[in-house]
Amino acid sequence: MACSQFEYVKQYETDDRLLPGCWIVLRLDGKGFTKFCELHCFEKPNDVRALCLMDASAQAVMREFQDIRLAFGESDEYSFVFPRECQLYGRRCSKLVSLVASCFTASYVRLWPQHLPDKPLAATPLFDARAVLYPSDRTLRDYLSWRQADTHINNLYNTCFWALVKSGKTNTEAHAQLQGTLADYKNELLFSQFGLNYNALPERFRKGSVVIRQRVKHVKQTADGRSKEKERLEPCVLHCDIIRDHFWQQHAELLA
Ligand code: ATP
Ligand code: ATP
Ligand code: MG
Ligand code: MG
Ligand code: MG
Ligand code: MG
Ligand code: MG
């Protein structure tokens, strides 16, 4: 109802436009996923199907929001990077955060039966979301390095923890044995006690998932019934190092 006596209340809405010129990172994280994983009997330490569902939901978000430059995911979290010059929704924080979180959550629910067909969804998955601004390419790269380093630290810890628990230790005993130990100790423990070479574990577990847009060939039917090979940009999931320079040199367009 335009120009009504009530319309003044609109003025109570605050301006939450994100600072221009900065990279925008939206990070989502599953609410109470420790319990959610238990409820759905996810494999420990890594349920690969649940990780693939996270990746597929992130790809769905990137198809919906073409502005997103890249994404990084691990465990129950995903970070989406919008470019410095992005003008989507006038950079309004609440619009961006709420739309990306709901798109991700809705996709997670929609795609669940494809990825975990034998497990009915038994709770409502929820994801919190926040926006963080990074003023330089360096701080953005350091942010992404921080998340990938976190993937490695958590995965090494969780791999040891669940190896100990599966070998008969209680949770408390396993925690106590790992408390304050360094990476070398954990690698050695896995190797000598469980015959596991940490570096031979899947890259998905050790490095998380990076989603970037890449040219993918697809076959298109022409009007006269012939098929023609075409290329289009599709969000593709990679599991590779993003801390060192190599990745950024290979994909120089990401920071352009
Ligand atoms: P919060 O609501 O504060 O985020 P949370 O229980 O979700 O609480 P997190 O720190 O986000 O806590 O941890 C997520 C948990 O879910 C970790 O224990 C992680 O190992 C587990 N998890 C996430 N994805 C998987 C997966 N694919 N397979 C097995 N475990 C997973
Ligand atoms: P925006 O993305 O800017 O919100 P929008 O198309 O969603 O764009 P709104 O102003 O939110 O625009 O309007 C929602 C539209 O959906 C209106 O046209 C409204 O009449 C229609 N609509 C919403 N719910 C119903 C419903 N239950 N039955 C019929 N029409 C509906
Ligand atoms: Mg409306
Ligand atoms: Mg959290
Ligand atoms: Mg969580
Ligand atoms: Mg988490
Ligand atoms: Mg609307």
Phi then psi dihedrals of residue 132, to 5 deg: -130, 140
Evaluate whether 241 touches 217 at the Cβ level (below 8 Å).
Answer: no
β partners of residue 137:
none
| Ligand 1-lining residues (CB < 6 angstroms) | 29-34, 37, 42, 44, 46-47, 50-51, 75-76, 158
Residue 149 contacts residue 243 (beta carbons within 8 Å): yes
Query: What does the pLDDT look like over 18-69, one tens digit per residue?
Result: 999 999 999 999 999 999 999 999 999 999 999 999 999 999 999 999 999 9
For ligand 6, an ion, list residues with CB under 5 A: 29, 75-77
- Confirm or deny that 21 is annotated as ligand binding: no
Structural domains of the chain, with CATH: 17-147+203-207 (3.30.70.3000)
pLDDT of residue 3: 82
219 DSSP 8-state letter: E
CA of 94 to the centre of ligand 2 (A): 19
Question: Cα–Cα distance between 198 and 146 in angstroms, integer?
Answer: 20
**DSSP one-letter code for 92:** B
DSSP H or E stretch at residue 101: helix 93-115
**Is the peptide bond prior to 45 cis by the omega test (within 30 degrees of 0)?**
yes
Residue range 74-100: mean pLDDT, rounded: 98
What's the pLDDT score for residue 66? 98
Provide the pLDDT for residue 63: 98
Contact between 235 and 213 (Cβ < 8 Å):
yes
CA gyration radius, the chain: 22
% pLDDT > 90, the chain: 96
What are 197's two structure tokens?
């070479």
Nearest atom, ligand 1, residue 48 CA: 27
- Whether the CA torsion 96, 99, 100, 101 is positive or negative: it is positive
Compute the average pLDDT of residues 196-206: 97
Atom of ligand 1 nearest to the CA of 45: 29
When the pLDDT of each residue in the chain is averaged and rounded to a whole number, the result is: 97
Distance 75 CA to ligand 6 centre (A): 6
Give the count of alpha carbons within 13 A of 207, CB side only: 18
Check whether 55 is labelled as a binding-site residue: no
Q: In angstroms, rounded to a whole number, what is the distance separating the alpha carbons of residues 131 and 25?
A: 6
Q: According to the model, what pLDDT value does residue 2 have? A: 67
Report the greatest alpha carbon distance in the chain: 76
Distance 110 CA to ligand 2 centre (A): 22
Does the annotation flag 47 for ligand binding? no
What confidence score (pLDDT) does residue 1 get?
Answer: 56
Residue 73 pairs in a beta bridge with 78, 209
Give CA separation, 4 vs 7, 11, 12, 13, 14, in Å.
Answer: 5, 13, 16, 17, 20
- Is 30 assigned a ligand-binding role in the annotation? yes
**Distance from the alpha carbon of residue 12 to the mean position of ligand 5, in angstroms:** 32
pLDDT in tens, 117-165: 999 999 999 999 999 999 999 999 999 999 999 999 999 999 999 999 9
Taking CA atoms only, the protein residue closest to ligand 1 atom 17 is: 34
